[in-house]
Chain A
């Protein structure tokens, strides 16, 4: 199979290089059009923060003097820093397997990454719109997206939180039923605190209040997260009215003590209160966790959840690989079916089936002495109908490039429904 994948990812290239080889949507469209015109029959370019990969089928007459990795580097004007060792060049069915590993998330930096599937889908759609896909890549990417979905529904590869912020939001959802009816107070404005609040807002948190020593920073965050700023000196007034408290400030004294919380809990009718302490040193007196209906979790506890979930995802890789293997066989069978000889054979069988079925239906209309003649006549008609297409197929096979021929075979198979009982 004349298919290749050339690209870089988090394992082969440092971030400094990956960010330089990142393509915007517009750049992708331009490059795909150029490559399609110059040297490739089909191509799809995917570009995310951790990987840039070009899947392509080269024309037989393409210019072999410039390797594809150089073409990619040239298109971003970074030939001077690009090294061949940054790139991998995966041929044939290994490239199919590689794409399946990408869409299932087992090749991602964070195993089971959920975003990659939509990113690949987007790249495929862009290539289709640009007109740079054909029989092979259309089939390959449709299958790869299907494999990605299968992995997520049939295994637990994407289960569980794998970031501190997500783990905190998941914990909140294990305590409260509907976050839309809940409110949170964010004390501090660090990156982890912001991400945690973002995850809560992403789960439709009802209201978010923010308090920070630097008020302007709190206002900035409030603008981004659609929250409300409260004075840092007054934050204690709000602890009784919110359901979730996130603290992430630098302080050598506890921000909230047992006394504070007992009082607040009484004021809020003993309703559960979830406190996330992201501060190091800790902002909240840990003995608070002994109070009924208060759930205190610090950064270590959340990191443990993340580690546990990552280990669980790793344990799923074997099941995902089984799905990949199964789907690879499907793809292989489909690709083999595009060969000319089996298609001619199936075409003959298809017409022969129609002929015998019709004869069986109308046999009684003819006298027994005419049966043999009918048999010969219908056979001759079928052979005559099929003669030209079969000859053209055979001749085309020797003249045209493999991929164009496969395209024709694919159309023919589609027109006569030869894949009806085959794979997707």
Chain B
């Protein structure tokens, strides 16, 4: 088992590199071969990554959330999972390169530094905690993808407005599709974050004696959630469209990124385990 884990850790960054190479080649030079094999490489990589997480969980008897590097690998896998869902739903694969470059770097760092942590707190071996964390990560992965699509939207929007008709204009899908991709990811992320918060708020206090509602990570996550509620309401109730809602998506993600980083670096609470 241990040997297969090492093999996975070597293979995954290589496969991710192959995937982004194929997506980049298809996007930037319109290579037909890359175009025809890129999704197949992606699905193979995803399958291998899911197998890696399963094997790792079974071997070490805990979900892979006990170290930063395990978490990085889990984030990489969730981003790919959400991306694959969006690619199949929208039937558009031209934007993959811009998304998949993130999981490549996450998995590369994870594979280089990952190690089994001795003396894992008992709570981190709980599968329900694994569910809470997985849904939170899936949610964050989805809003990351949403922000990437929003960013691509803004790039294409700028090019059309300023009459620049280069590679971005040529290869990206149309503005309406990019907006839909971003919105689908936001909804997906919002639902998963809601699930993570509900599981966290209802079930976890029973497990943690020192559970506190003033926990910085909890407050931060709820603040992010509120921002996304505001964004979704702006679109659905107030009728925001196009550029404005895309800027909101990018800013929402920037807020999430900054707040999570600050909380993890400067604050401590019951939410910090490693």
Contact = CB atoms under 8 A, between A and B. Distances in A.
Given A177-B176, A177-B180, A270-B239, A304 B161 contact: no
Interface in B10-55: 30, 32
B271 interface: no
A295 B160 contact: yes
B163 interface: yes
A269 interface: yes
A154 B176 contact: no
A76 interface: no
Given A292-B242, A293-B241, A177 B161 contact: no
Interface string B231-274: 00000000111111000000000000000000000000000000
Interface string A143-159: 00000000001101000
Contacts, number: 52
Instruction: Name the interface size band of chain A.
Output: 20 to 34
Given A270-B239, A270-B244, A308-B165, A174 B160 contact: yes
Interface in A367-423: none
A175 B244 contact: no
Interface in B147-177: 156, 160-161, 163, 165, 169-170, 174-177
B169 A272 contact: no
Interface of A is mostly: mixed
A160 B165 CA distance: 11
Given A156-B30, A174-B156, A177-B177, A305 B165 contact: yes
B190 to A, nearest CB: 22
A297 interface: yes
A138 interface: no
A232 interface: no
Contact of A174 (B30, B175, B239, B240): B175
A175 B160 contact: yes
A164 to B, nearest CB: 14
Contacts of B242: 270-272, 292-293
Given A154-B32, A173-B174, A272 B241 contact: yes
A89 interface: no
Nearest to A174: B174
A318 to B, nearest CB: 16
A82 B165 CA distance: 45
Contacts of A156: 30
A269 B242 CA distance: 11
A176 interface: yes
Nearest to A178: B176
A269 B180 CA distance: 17
Given A289-B161, A304-B165, A308-B165, A175 B174 contact: yes
A269 B165 contact: no
A176 B176 contact: yes
B241 A271 contact: yes
Given A295-B161, A304-B165, A176 B241 contact: no
A175 B157 CA distance: 9
A180 interface: no
Contacts of A269: 239, 241
A289 B163 CA distance: 11
A227 to B, nearest CB: 23
Contacts of B180: 177
Interface string A268-308: 01111000000000000000010011010100010011001
A205 interface: no
A272 B176 CA distance: 9
A73 B161 CA distance: 53
Contacts of A301: 163
A171 B169 CA distance: 9
Contacts of B32: 153-154
Nearest to B176: A177
A297 B244 contact: no
Interface string A228-272: 000000000000000000000000000000000000000001111
A271 B239 CA distance: 9
A176 B174 contact: yes
Nearest to B240: A270
Contacts of A171: 160
Contacts of A289: 161
28 contacts: A153-B32, A154-B32, A171-B160, A173-B174, A174-B160, A174-B175, A175-B175, A176-B176, A177-B174, A177-B177, A177-B180, A178-B176, A269-B239, A269-B241, A270-B239, A270-B240, A270-B242, A272-B176, A292-B243, A293-B241, A293-B244, A295-B160, A295-B161, A297-B163, A301-B163, A304-B165, A305-B165, A308-B165
Q: Top 3 A-B pairs ranked by shortest CB distance?
A: A177-B176, A293-B242, A269-B239
Given A173-B174, A174-B156, A174-B174, 18 more contacts: A156-B30, A171-B160, A174-B175, A175-B175, A176-B174, A176-B175, A177-B176, A177-B177, A269-B239, A270-B241, A272-B175, A272-B241, A272-B242, A292-B242, A293-B241, A293-B244, A297-B163, A304-B165
Interface of A: 153-154, 156, 160, 171, 173-178, 269-272, 289, 292-293, 295, 297, 301, 304-305, 308
